[in-house]
Amino acid sequence: MGEKPGPVAPEPMTEPIPHILFVCLGNICRSPMAEGLARRRFADAGIAAAFDSAGIGDWHAGAPPDRRAVNACWKALVDLSAQRARQIEPADFERFDHIVAMDAENVAELVAMAPPGHAAKISRILDFAALEEADVPDPYYGGHEGFDEVLGLIDAGLAGLMRHVGGG
Ligand code: 4NP
C-alpha cells in the first residue's frame, strides 16, 4: 500500500507592505527629506513599508537632493545622498497605496492627473498632524533655516502617518 499523503503545508502568507510615495514640486527638497526621514522613523518603530518620492515637475530629474536638504537631514542622521529626483508618472498611482503630498498645490495637481478610482489615496502630509500649518512650505528660495523648519513639520506628519499606516 502506498503511503498516505501527509497534510499539505499551507503556502506561506506574505503580508503585503504599504507602498508610500512622497510628492513635492521639484523632488529635490521636501519629498526627498520626507522619504529619507520616513525610512528611519518607520524602521525605528518596527513598521515595514516601502518608500519612494517624486516631483510634479521634471526640472531636476536625475539630480541629487538640494545640499541644504541633505545637510538638514544629515544633522538628524538621515542620509539622502543616494536619492535622485524623478517626475511622477501615471503608473505611480497603481504602484503606491499612499501618495503623500507636501502642500495643497501638489494635491490639486495629483488629483487632476489621478486615473479614475485612485484619488482617494492622495493626502497631504500635515493632514496626519495636529498643527496649525496645513502645508509644508517650499524652502527652495529661502535659507538654511527653512530646511530645518521643513524637517520638523515633516517629522510631525510622519508620526501621524505611522499611526495611520501601522494601525497604532
Ligand atoms: P521641492 O522644492 O518641491 O521641495 O523639491 C523645489 C525645488 C525646485 C523648484 C521648486 C521647488 N524649482 O522651481 O526648481
Following DSSP, what letter does each residue of 105-127 receive, concatenated?
A: HHHHHHHHHPPTT-GGGEEEGGG
Q: Please say if 73 is a catalytic residue.
A: no
| Gap between the Cα atoms of 79 and 71, Å rounded | 9
CA nearest ligand 1 atom 13, residue: 26
- Residue among 29, 56, 73, 124 to mutate when testing ligand 1 (max atoms within 8 A of CB): 29
pLDDT at 7: 66
- Coil, strand or helix: which one is 136? coil
Q: Would the CB of 30 count as within 6 Å of ligand 1?
A: yes
User: Which grid cell is 155?
Assistant: 517629522
- Tell me how far the alpha carbon of residue 29 lies from the centroid of ligand 1, in angstroms: 6
pLDDT at 3: 61
- Of 29, 30, 103, 124, the active-site residue reads 30
- pTM for this structure? 0.92
User: Which grid cell is 106?
Assistant: 501638489
Q: Please say if 138 is a catalytic residue.
A: yes
Q: Would the CB of 106 count as within 6 Å of ligand 1?
A: no
Q: Give 19's Cβ-side CA count (13 Å radius).
A: 8
Domains annotated on the chain, with CATH = 19-166 (3.40.50.2300)
pLDDT at 12: 65
- Of 24, 73, 92, 124, the active-site residue reads 24
| Gap between the Cα atoms of 122 and 98, Å rounded | 6
155 burial via Cβ count (<10 Å: 0-12, 13-18, 19+): middle
pLDDT tens, position by position, for the chain (168 residues)? 556 666 666 666 677 899 999 999 999 999 999 999 999 999 999 999 999 999 999 999 999 999 999 999 999 999 999 999 999 999 999 999 999 999 999 999 999 999 999 999 999 999 999 999 999 999 999 988 999 999 999 999 999 999 999 866
Cα–Cα–Cα angle for 126, 129, 132, nearest 5°?
75
User: Which grid cell is 121?
Assistant: 489615496
Cβ atoms of 157 and 128 within 8 Å: the answer is: yes
Q: Please say if 135 is a catalytic residue.
A: no
- Tell me how far the alpha carbon of residue 99 lies from the centroid of ligand 1, in angstroms: 18
- Tell me how far the alpha carbon of residue 46 lies from the centroid of ligand 1, in angstroms: 31
